[in-house]
């Protein structure tokens, strides 16, 4: 056997060198492994009614090769169709910090629940579905309206029914004011509220809620 030299010693039998571990060289094809991660969400898809329109909101936590989001909608969860598309805000579809997205459905179905879902689409053609969000849309022509918006001291809500409960909800979800409608028009003083974005939620006697976003300057 031909002697070999390892770390200054000469060995005629490789088994004599107990500190040596020989590993075979393996050529790994990087194309075999798919490193692509799906888009992850920091905020799931939500739907809220505002002035007869449905506002959709969601936020990503990470995105890899993300092309964007197809907006699916319908009155049945098993029959949702595409009504729009929102492109990824991430450069080349990649981000480790995420982005906030929104979409407005200007023509929801009246007097029924409307269901929404995102179909996230990768640049390589892969797709993944999000959670399903829903909101009840009543008679759109008689929807609650709010003015002025933005407002500084007072807001007015029209087309509310007698006995409707109106709640002012802060951006973190806390209820900051509650008022019962004594007519079809409600006046609410917001002068003491900090400047921020709020939601005026009108809940009628049937428990149906309608949300209108506004800005307090």
Same domain, yes or no: 116 and 164: no
Same domain, yes or no: 116 and 174: no
**Could you tell me if 82 and 70 are in contact, meaning their C-beta atoms sit under 8 angstroms apart?**
yes
Same domain, yes or no: 48 and 93: yes
CA distance 9 to 28: 33
| pLDDT at residue number 84 | 96
Cβ atoms within 10 A of the Cβ of 38, count?
15
CA 90, 44, 206, 212 dihedral sign is negative
Count CA atoms within 13 Å of residue 46 on its CB side.
13
Last residue of a domain, one of 82, 112, 137: 137
Cβ atoms within 10 A of the Cβ of 74, count?
16
Read off the tokens for 195: 């400047």
How many Å separate Cα 53 from the centre of its chain? 17
Do the domain assignments include residue 12? no
Q: Give the number of domains in the chain.
A: 2
CA distance 181 to 183: 6
Residue range(s) defining the domain that contains residue 196: 144-216
**Could you tell me if 169 and 130 are in contact, meaning their C-beta atoms sit under 8 angstroms apart?**
no
What CATH number is associated with residue 71? 2.60.40.10
What CATH number is associated with residue 209? 2.60.40.2470
Do the domain assignments include residue 157? yes
Same domain, yes or no: 47 and 70: yes
Do the domain assignments include residue 46? yes
Same domain, yes or no: 48 and 127: yes
Do the domain assignments include residue 55? yes
| pLDDT at residue number 41 | 96
Same domain, yes or no: 85 and 129: yes
Do the domain assignments include residue 10? no
Same domain, yes or no: 211 and 176: yes
Do the domain assignments include residue 9? no
Same domain, yes or no: 126 and 50: yes
Last residue of a domain, one of 109, 137, 165: 137
Same domain, yes or no: 112 and 178: no
Per-residue confidence of the chain (217 residues) as pLDDT tens digits? 555 554 555 444 544 444 444 434 334 343 433 445 579 999 999 998 887 789 999 999 999 999 999 999 999 999 999 999 999 999 999 999 999 999 999 888 877 899 999 999 999 889 999 999 998 877 665 578 888 989 999 999 988 888 899 999 998 889 999 999 998 889 999 999 999 999 999 998 878 788 888 999 9
Same domain, yes or no: 196 and 160: yes
| pLDDT at residue number 37 | 59
Same domain, yes or no: 110 and 198: no
**Could you tell me if 58 and 110 are in contact, meaning their C-beta atoms sit under 8 angstroms apart?**
no
Same domain, yes or no: 131 and 72: yes
| pLDDT at residue number 204 | 84
Do the domain assignments include residue 130? yes
Do the domain assignments include residue 57? yes
Cβ atoms within 10 A of the Cβ of 183, count?
9
């Amino acid at each position: 056997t031909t002697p070999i030299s390892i770390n200054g010693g000469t060995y005629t039998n490789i088994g004599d060198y107990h500190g040596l571990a020989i590993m075979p060289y393996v050529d790994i094809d990087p194309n075999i492994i798919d490193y692509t991660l799906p888009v992850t969400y920091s905020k799931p898809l939500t739907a809220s009614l505002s002035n007869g329109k449905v506002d959709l909101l969601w936020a990503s936590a990470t995105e890899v090769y993300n092309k964007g989001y197809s907006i699916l909608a319908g009155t049945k969860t098993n029959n949702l169709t595409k009504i729009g598309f929102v492109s990824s805000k991430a450069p080349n579809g990649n981000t480790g910090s995420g982005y906030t997205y929104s979409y407005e459905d200007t023509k929801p179905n009246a007097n029924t629940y409307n269901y929404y879902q995102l179909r996230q689409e990768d640049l390589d053609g892969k797709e993944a579905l999000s959670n399903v969000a829903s909101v009840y849309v009543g008679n759109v022509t008689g929807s609650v309206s709010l003015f002025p918006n933005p407002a500084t001291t007072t807001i007015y809500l029209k087309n509310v029914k007698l006995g409707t409960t109106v709640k002012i909800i802060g951006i973190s979800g806390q209820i900051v004011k509650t008022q019962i409608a004594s007519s079809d028009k409600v006046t609410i003083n917001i002068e003491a509220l900090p400047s921020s974005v709020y939601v005026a939620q009108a809940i009628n006697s049937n428990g149906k809620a309608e949300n209108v976003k506004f800005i307090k300057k």
